[in-house]
Amino acid sequence: MTKRLLIATNNQGKVAEIKAIFTGLYDELVSLKDIGLEIETVEDGDTFEANAMKKAEEAFQASGIDTLADDSGLCVDALYGHPGVRSARYAGESATDKENYEKLLDAMKDVEDDERTARFVCTVALVRAGKPTVVAQGKCEGVIGDKPVGGGGFGYDPCFFLPEYGKTMAELTPEEKNAISHRGKALERMRQILDEEKE
């Protein structure tokens, strides 16, 4: 019997990142689009964990397939942790990545360099039949740049500068990003938990 994992997202960037890390744990990794499931979870939780669990549970109920969902966002210290859980909707419900990061850069235009600290946070939740839900979190520290740089990644990546690399997240290769990103760390932690279950 083929062991399938549903990745509960329509974001193809996320699908690619998750597939790269979860290869070997499941025989087949599919997205909502792959199985023709149209589902738009209302992300009304106050935390990344609440939203990730809600997304995973709704897609699992609709599909019957083991389901992994994530909720992630950018928490900026000078903005009291915002945009946080509203990162994808920071500039409006149907805002583009560019509109979101332009609003962020505008909000940060008068903030001094040493106060531009921020972190990406990701929580992943895995819902399975007859097994406990598993949750894992990852973080990646950085600073908000003063302009977008780089053509890779998605979301706020062009504005998120990593001092130890001297680059923004959008300038990293996919392999470099997976090794240090908040989502990469959360997924690696999830993979460890699942590997330990097998032992």
Write out pLDDT tens, residues 115-143: 999 999 999 999 999 999 999 999 999 99
Mean pLDDT score of the chain: 92
Residues in the chain: 199
pLDDT of residue 25: 83
**Is residue 32 exposed (0-12), middle (13-18) or buried (19+ Cβ within 10 Å)?**
buried
Rounded Cα distance, 193 and 177, in Å? 22
> At 62, which CATH number?
3.90.950.10
* Crossing angle between the packed helical segments 12-22 and 182-198, to the nearest 10 degrees: 40
Q: Which residues pair with 69 in a beta bridge?
A: 125
pTM confidence score: 0.88
DSSP conformational letter for 26: B
On the question of pLDDT at 169 being above 60, the answer is yes
Average pLDDT over residues 99-113: 96
> Residue 83 — very low, low, confident or very high, per pLDDT cuts 50/70/90?
very high
Around 195, how many Cα atoms within 13 Å sit in the side-chain half-sphere? 10
Catalytic site residue from 34, 66, 70, 71: 71
Task: Check residues 195 and 46 and name the one with the higher pLDDT.
Answer: 46
| 36: containing domain | 4-198
Q: Pick from 174, 123, 135: which is nearest to 17 by CA?
A: 174
Distances (CA, A) of 144 to 3, 102, 114: 41, 12, 10
> Residue 179 — very low, low, confident or very high, per pLDDT cuts 50/70/90?
confident
> Residue 26 — very low, low, confident or very high, per pLDDT cuts 50/70/90?
confident
Number of domains in the chain: 1
Number of other residues whose CB lies within 10 A of the CB of residue 96: 10
Rounded Cα distance, 55 and 109, in Å? 34
Sheet strands side by side (includes 28-31): 28-31, 4-7, 67-76, 117-128, 131-144, 160-162, 167-168
Q: Please list, in sequence order, all residues whose beta carbon lies within 8 angstroms of the beta carbon of residue 146, skipping any fewer than 6 positions away.
A: 105, 108, 109
Rounded Cα distance, 95 and 162, in Å? 25
On the question of pLDDT at 45 being above 70, the answer is yes
- Decide if 113 is catalytic: no
Scanning the structure block, which residue is given the tokens 């997205």? 31
On the question of pLDDT at 177 being above 60, the answer is yes
